[in-house]
Amino acid sequence: MTRERDSSGAASSETGSPCADGRAPASGSTTGSHLHSDANSNSGIAGPPWSLDVATIQAQLKVGPGGLSSAEAQLRLRTDGPNQLRSREATPAWRIVLSRFKSPIVGLLGLAAGVSYAFGEWLDGTAVASVLIVNAAIGFVVELRAQRSMEALRRLTVTQTRVHRDGQELAVPSAELVRGDVVVGEAGDVINADLRIIEASRLEVDESLLTGESVPVAKSASSVPPEATIDSRTSMLFSGTAITRGSMTAIVVGTGSGTELGRIGALVESAEGEVTPLELRLQRLGTRVIYITVLIAILPVVLGLLRGEPLLRLVKTGLALAVAAIPEGLPVVATIALARGMWQLSRRSVLVRRLSAVESLGSVNTIFTDKTGTLTENRMTVRELWLADRVVKLVDGTAVEDGRARLALEIGLLCNNATIDSEGTALGDPLEVALVRAAAGHGLSSEALEKERPRDHEIAFDAVRRRMATVHEQTADAEGRKGHAYWIAVKGAPESVLEASSSFESSDGPVPLTADSRAEWLERNTQLASTGARVLAVAYREADNSGDHAQQAIDHELILVALVALSDPPRTGVADAVSECQRAGIRVVMLTGDQAATARAIGLATGVIDDPEARVVEGRELGGESDADSSSTAEVAIFARVDPEQKLRLIAQHQARGAVVAMTGDGVNDAPALRKADIGVAMGQRGTEVAREASDVVLEDDSFASIVAAIRGGRIIFRNIRRFVFYLLSCNLSEVTLVCGALALGSKLPLLPIQILFLNLVTDVFPALALAFGQGDGSTMDRPPRPKTEAILTRRLWFAVGGYGLTLAASVLAAFLFAEHSLHYDDAGAVTVSFLTLGFAQLWHVYNLRSPHEPFFGSDLAQNRWLGGALLLCTGLLLVANLFAPLAHVLGLTSIGREGWLTVFGFSIVPCVVGDVVRAIRRR
């Protein structure tokens, strides 16, 4: 259980007494009814823990009232090992090496090497095989680093659980839970070990992971028979399940592989790696290229045979075409681009949990965001108390003179689950922490108050009541008078508490609420909320009975004491982030459980709306409308007092209108909406484990600006992938076109197969890899979102691939013919000129990838240090290929002199010049 507690509490406590609602085996379960293993096999408990009473289990596990000691917990951790399931092992290096040779592209290259050997072309065959091995080695290194990076990303989030140790409540890593630990949890927490319930308060748990039963299961502390199947063990909480309602205290009876989940187990171990839609499209693209390659390679051979040309020449031609068409670097660069992009996002406090989210991030055009903690700082401070006839400004250290103000602070402190330790570290929901700090600043402590009024149990906050309560035993006064048996402290939404109140606390005691006085309290609430304050109402009442009577008692005859105004200012930079979204064509929609006036004030402060009269829709106005085509709320930017079901419906309506929705959430009830959204964004600090498990992205800092950073990162990653695909295909097309053009003119081959392989190794891998490291530019968020279904290469880009491929081929062919006919070079000299011209032309071609409005020196390509380094490296390799005699001999190159080099550089810049002309035309 990992999240900080919110303002919800728990309901009536059950502590081992017989349960009246013992649950029968789920009729819809297909799995649970067959599961009946002994969860205590390694727990040190004599008998099934679900059938034993709590006291027996505590005695057998030697657990005291304050939980285990830290020393005992460490001893048990060393004995039992960490609380971890056996996860899927990292892919061994030899499997990665093997996978590099399973690619169809590699198979085609292997076939080319085999054909060369079959015709006695040992040099060409060995060269093809060598390039094949080098390419596979580069791919291996890149993929190994990418996989290790992904594994490290998965280790970044450490799950924590709240336990009692040494008499204190602590948050410890879930991997350090041991048998006997006393765990506390509430709605939204995920169970991280097998637990026997000690106390339960309106507790319901989602056990669908184990039983297949989608309906939450009611739980209690009551024992069940030893033969109970897993779906009938209502006194147990199992690892991997999630609390959907209420709260509990429980004791750990099984960890790691000793849990039910550990025994069912193959879940994590057998999980297959995710293949994203983007990777599938790249795989399909590579397959299509192979089919086209085979056709291109075979057709000239068949036509040549019909014309009676020598078979060896035709085979060399087909081999050259096949090698030229294959984009060897395509699979490698896609992997590193995704992994690199995810690492960059993690440095911005954005953890991407699913690779497929990377692709969708760049398409988001609507963000549904929470208010508290996302647009605001979530650092609340109690600003003032509004009593019936006066306003009390709170100043720490100044005594509160009005008894009603002190009573309001006492209610806020008693109806509270937050704690602050001796060092000032807070554990709990920020709203509750603010109430604790306000009370402490005026000399109040929960320990002293609970001595006077010991807590009996809690009544949890829920979306219907919109209030929380704690029930306390009354102690006798100095004269021995006790009055009613129980005293109930209540806090919640002002309109909800006011509705359940029959009177308010005046300076002379409780006074009945009239229609006019109700209206006055509501007006005060609206006045406070319009300043952007978070407003809470506090009330109390007395009762004679606990249990069900107390739960009913908080629905009527409450005595309203005060309105509590809490300040929660907008986060620094949020207004700029909202403005950046709007500039990028992204709508920002606020969904909040707060009231409309508060939401409007924060919306104006953050730029979500700019009109003070803009429409704010409350949840009650949405009613039960489910028509996905409804346009009544299409342009609304703020929704207040919305519940989880309404969030789900709003997402569906916007998606039906073509929106790609990113949704933020933190509570257990947000999980369905997070799954429904195209991108579910969970809060890392205040979010529940359930919300995080349902999300695609986790924000470690809970900041709206990080959502914008994630979208910007998603756009950059997709643009980088699009760029290197464009670059690889246009370069390979230029080689195919060059060979076909020479055949059409009846000329000799301007490139040898081994030379094409060398160029592909140089120009396909290193510049393309460097493109994957692009950081984007200032215009990344100035463009509208791309459609989610948009292909990697649009029709316009395919035409551009063809145009640049033809331009590159024409310039190289012209250089080849110029060297042959004007410079009168022999075959080796002319081929050397065409080889170097194509090599340098492809390197300069990288700068054709900048957008029409980007100047050369101001583009992100010019600022990409990796790209600059790759071009320097490739330039050096081309020079070595020509000047280093042994390598030049293998490649069939020769010295070309000053005229030859001038020809190379003159013709190699032609495609760049043509690209600049095209961009100038497009700018106009």
Q: Is 181 a catalytic residue?
A: no
> CA-to-CA distance for 115 and 891, rounded, in angstroms?
18
Q: How far apart are CA 737 and CA 208, in angstroms?
A: 58
Neighbours of 76 (CB within 10 A): 21
Give the separation between CA 287 and CA 284, rounded to whole angstroms: 5
Residue whose entry in the numeric block shows the structure tokens 């095209």: 918
* CA dist., res. 35 & res. 889, Å (int): 71
Side-chain-side CA neighbours of residue 669 (13 Å): 14
The rounded distance, in Å, linking the Cα atoms of 400 and 414 is 17
Full 3-state SS string of 444-511 = CCHHHHHHHCCEEEEECCCCCCCEEEEEEECCCCCCCCCCCCEEEEEEECHHHHHHCEEEEEECCEEE
Task: Give the list of residues 6+ apart from residue 97 with CB closer than 8 angstroms, or none.
Answer: 136, 140
Among 121, 539, 95, which residue's Cα sits nearest to residue 320? 121
Geometric angle at alpha carbon 883, from 877 and 885, rounded to 5°: 110
Q: Contact 486/546 with Cβ under 8 angstroms? A: yes
Please, are residues 381 and 366 in contact by the beta-carbon 8 Å criterion? no
What is the H or E stretch that residue 539 is in? strand 534-543
CA distance 468 to 490: 6
**Rounded CA separation 276/359 (Å):** 8
For the chain, give percent helix, strand, coil, nearest 5.
50, 15, 35
In this structure, the strands spanning 509-512 and 501-506 are antiparallel
Residues found in the chain: 924
Measured CA to CA, the distance from residue 904 to residue 897 in angstroms comes to 11
Which one from 370, 456, 764, 777 is the annotated catalytic residue? 370
Question: DSSP letter string over 697-718?
Answer: EEETT--HHHHHHHHHHHHHHH
Q: How far apart are CA 577 and CA 706, in angstroms?
A: 9
Give CA–CA dist 191/183, Å, rounded. Answer: 10
* Residue 491 bridge partners (DSSP): 468, 538
Residues 685 and 675: their CA atoms lie apart, in Å, by 19
Query: Are 844 and 854 contacting, i.e. CB atoms less than 8 angstroms apart?
Result: no
Question: Which residues does 149 contact at the CB level (< 8 Å), separation at least 6?
Answer: 339, 340, 342, 343
CA 331/CA 764 separation, integer angstroms: 11
β-strand 391-393 against 419-420: which pairing, if any? unpaired
Q: Are 595 and 723 in contact (CB under 8 A)?
A: no
Quick check: 512 and 502 in contact, CB under 8 A?
yes
Exposed, middle or buried: residue 419 (CB in 10 Å: 0-12, 13-18, 19+)?
A: middle
From the number of C-beta atoms within 10 Å of its C-beta (0-12, 13-18, 19+), residue 312 rates as: exposed
Distance CA 429, CA 803 (A): 60
Nearest Cα residue to 903 out of 802, 811, 828: 811
Report the C-alpha gap between 109 and 764 in whole angstroms: 15
CA distance to 184, 193, 194, 258, 795, per residue, from 239 (Å): 14, 4, 5, 10, 51
* Residues annotated catalytic, as ranges: 370
